[in-house]
Amino acid sequence: MCPLCSVAVETIDHLFVGCRELLEIWSRIPIWWDVRLPDRFAIDDIMRWVDSTSLKIGQRKAFDAVIISAFWCLWNFRNNFVFGPTIPRKSDLFDAIVERTFFWISNRSSKSRIGWTSWLHNPVLASILM
């Protein structure tokens, strides 16, 4: 059973897009980025989410990094929940995605000069120069 919700069998699909305990994360990302959630909600749809947006190329790269970071943070959250010494707080999960993506983008791209404040408040505008 899923260690987070104890309602369904733990599968990759359930963990990343089906667990009711984690669905809030996917609903916060489109609010932050001012994009629509995919009509269908499966892992493949999330992975192709960037293709359904009208973002420019640099913005698409940054948004794709957000999606990958979300998967990474969800996986780490699950592992810390199961194996960690303390239960992680779900309320910190979205912040971890924002922070991790900013760290990855600001350290991977020599062209990127994204500021933390602009990344928090308007990532679409902040990532236009990528």
Per residue in 66-105, pLDDT (tens digit) is: 999 999 999 999 999 999 999 999 999 999 999 999 999 9
Residue 39: predicted pLDDT: 85
Q: Which residues of 94-105 are buried (b: 16+ CB within 10 A; e: fewer)?
A: bebbbbbbbebb
Residue 129: predicted pLDDT: 62
Q: pTM for this one?
A: 0.91
Mean pLDDT throughout 1-29?
94
In the three-class reduction of DSSP (H, G, I as helix; E, B as strand; rest coil), residue 29 is classed as: helix
8 A C-beta contact, residue 46 and residue 63: no
Mean pLDDT throughout 59-67?
95
8 A C-beta contact, residue 130 and residue 109: yes
Structure tokens at 60: 């698409």
Q: Which residues of 5-26 are buried (b: 16+ CB within 10 A; e: fewer)?
A: beeeebeeebbbbbbebbeebb
Residue 112 has pLDDT above 70, yes or no: no
Residue 12 has pLDDT above 90, yes or no: yes
Residue 21 has pLDDT above 80, yes or no: yes
Domain positions in the chain are 12-126
Residue 36 has pLDDT above 90, yes or no: yes
In the three-class reduction of DSSP (H, G, I as helix; E, B as strand; rest coil), residue 34 is classed as: coil
d(C-alpha 69, C-alpha 4), whole Å: 20
| Three-point CA angle 78, 92, 18, nearest 5° | 45
Residue 27: predicted pLDDT: 92
- Burial label, 53 (beta-carbon count in 10 A; 0-12, 13-18, 19+): middle
Q: How confident is the model at residue 111 (pLDDT cuts 50, 70, 90)?
A: low
